[in-house]
Amino acid sequence: MPSQLAGRMSRSPDPTAAGPLRFRPLRRLAFGAVALVIASSCATAPPPPAVDLGFPSPLAGPGVPPLDRASSQGVERGWALLAAGDPTSARREAARAGGGAPARLLELQALLGEAPPEAAAGIAELVVAEPGYAAAWITLSVAAERAGDEATALAAARRGAALWDRPAWVDRADQLRRRYVDHRVEEGNRRLEAGDAGEALSLAERVLGLEPGERTAVWLEARALVALGRDAEADAALARLGADPEALLLSGRLAEGRQDWETAMTLYDALPADHPQRQAKLHRVKLQWRLSLLPACARTALSSPRLTRSQLAILLVTLAPQLETLEGGPPPVLSDVVDLACSSDIVTAVRFDLLSSDPLERRFFPNRPARVHEVRDAVDALCHLLGLQAPVWCAQPGPGCTVLSEPVGGDQVAETVLRLLETEGR
């Protein structure tokens, strides 16, 4: 019996004895597998995503000030933290890295997101001390842009790109200029065309605050000032454009508006010799200049829509004062012009046979309307006396052709005579 019991016991499993011997290796294997999975997951976990800061590491690019190895490693750790989006830890690393310029730049870069004006002020001091430090200039541009200091942002971007001509930094400078300058000028032109001269002027002034000599902005400013009726300021703006043809034309127009014919002539004469508007502009202002010098009786004749014979004589003589240097016939006696204004001009016209009189009655008939044939004959006689090429008269307008129609106005005669005199360089 005991032996049978002993045999059964030897064949029966003992949960207290056989179990641990049988399952302990399995537990160890399971625990090992779990530990391996945990360790594997920790080893392959992706690092925190880097932030595109828009500026380079303090240790990158030309002009980095010297730094010892330990400090350099501290700046590298701080930059990695900043790029991972942890500016607080980055500033702590910058403080541990010592007082060198790269560590100071890292500290200010970490401050940039929190206080752009303060960061910009600090970096501005840094680039004064380290003018060749490209990373500092580029960071200053970003800080100034965020602080709203456009002038510093643009200037620093250009300086940074000049020191480090990496495409990203060159593009940054170009993009800032397009945004601050080109886009505003374009918008200003649109506003001016839409009739909003005030806003156009404001946009021009913003651009000129950044680039005082920017031609397109000065041109926009001048045209906006003209539209606002501020001609004196427009003249001053246009003067900054020098011999620019568009500026000369607008300045000439302003001079004409105030009847300053001599200034207008000077401006139009400064246009390039082959400019398509030069001759026409000069002709017009020379005509106006000559007419402005006429005596009162001649100005009355000029404005007459229907010239009388006396007015025609006055215009011819006053527009061609060269007649006084020539020898003519004896002064005629004309009884019906004695009491008229500018009677001496009428006498001169008859003396040089520009117009006829009645020698028997000694009358000129000053109030009779001047007919087309009388005007043509008088102008032809004037050309003969002065050695000028007489005009080609015709009934219909055509190239190189002069048309007179009834009634003959003073402006027609004045323009014809002055054109002939101008052709001869007088």
The predicted model gives 306-332 an average pLDDT of 89
Q: What pLDDT does residue 225 have? A: 98
Q: Is the pLDDT of residue 43 over 90?
A: no
Residues paired with 358 in a beta bridge = 363
78 pLDDT above the threshold of 50:
yes
Q: What percent of the chain has pLDDT over 70?
A: 87
Helices (H), 48-149: 69-83, 87-96, 101-112, 116-129, 134-147
The answer, yes or no, to whether residue 73 has pLDDT greater than 90, is: yes
User: Is residue 12 pLDDT above 70, yes or no?
Assistant: no
> 174 pLDDT band (50/70/90 cuts)?
very high
Average pLDDT, stretch 132-146? 98
pLDDT number for residue 181: 97
Q: 73-165: which CATH architecture?
A: Alpha Horseshoe (1.25)
pLDDT digits (tens, 9 = 90+) for 86-128: 999 999 999 999 889 999 999 999 999 999 999 999 999 999 9
**What's the confidence (pLDDT) of residue 9?**
37
Domain boundaries, the chain: 73-165, 206-291, 295-423
pLDDT value for 293:
83
Q: What is the pLDDT of residue 50?
A: 52
Q: Regarding the domain delimited by 206-291, which CATH topology (the fold level of the hierarchy) does it fall under?
A: 1.25.40
**Residue-wise pLDDT tens digits, 258-274:** 999 999 999 999 999 99
Average pLDDT over residues 239-248: 95
Q: Do 206-291 and 73-165 fall under one CATH topology?
A: yes
Q: What is the mean pLDDT of residues 225-251?
A: 96
Q: Confidence class of residue 424 from pLDDT cuts 50, 70 and 90?
A: low
Is 47 a residue whose pLDDT tops 70? Answer: no
Residue 29 confidence (pLDDT) above 80:
no
Per mean pLDDT, which range of 8-12, 78-82, 132-136, 360-364 is the poorest? 8-12
pLDDT at 231 over 90: yes
The answer, yes or no, to whether residue 26 has pLDDT greater than 80, is no
pTM (two decimals): 0.68
pLDDT at 7: 44
Whole-number pLDDT of residue 323: 84
